[in-house]
């Protein structure tokens, strides 16, 4: 089992974009991303702060991606 990576909000948004998500809107530092098939999630893009493991799990659940998928997209 792969450990959840420690990524900033900006890195997670970039990875989700590579997975096919598009930024639909932003309110403050919270970015709402949606996939063409209907999956959606919100990622906080606070400068310099890593996303905690609980929130990262929620983002992965919402986006229906695995930890390995996220790692793969973050390295491209």
> What's the CATH number where 44 sits?
3.30.920.30
Whether residue 39 is contained in a domain is answered as: yes
Whether 38 maps to a domain, the answer reads: yes
Residue 4 has pLDDT above 80, yes or no: no
Task: Indicate whether 4 belongs to any domain.
Answer: no
Within a domain: residue 34? yes
Q: Is residue 57, in this structure, part of any structural domain at all?
A: yes
What pLDDT was estimated at residue 5?
73
Per-residue pLDDT reduced to its tens digit, 32-74: 999 999 999 999 999 889 999 999 999 999 999 999 998 898 8
The predicted pLDDT at position 2 comes to 61
Cα Rg of the chain (Å, integer): 11
Which residues, including other chains, have CB under 8 Å from residue 17's CB and lie 6 or more apart? Answer: 23, 33
| Residue 2 in domain | no
Rounded average pLDDT over 1-25: 89
Residue 71 pLDDT: 87
38 lies in which domain range?
A: 9-75
pTM, two decimal places: 0.90
With respect to residue 59, please indicate whether it lies within any of the assigned structural domains.
yes
């Amino acid at each position: 089992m792969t450990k959840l990576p420690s990524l900033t909000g900006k890195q997670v948004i970039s990875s989700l974009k590579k997975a096919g998500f598009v930024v639909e809107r932003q309110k403050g530092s919270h970015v709402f991303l949606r996939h063409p098939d209907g999956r959606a999630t919100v990622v906080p893009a606070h400068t310099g702060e890593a996303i905690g493991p609980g929130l990262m799990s929620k983002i992965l659940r919402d986006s229906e991606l695995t930890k390995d998928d996220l790692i793969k997209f973050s390295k491209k």
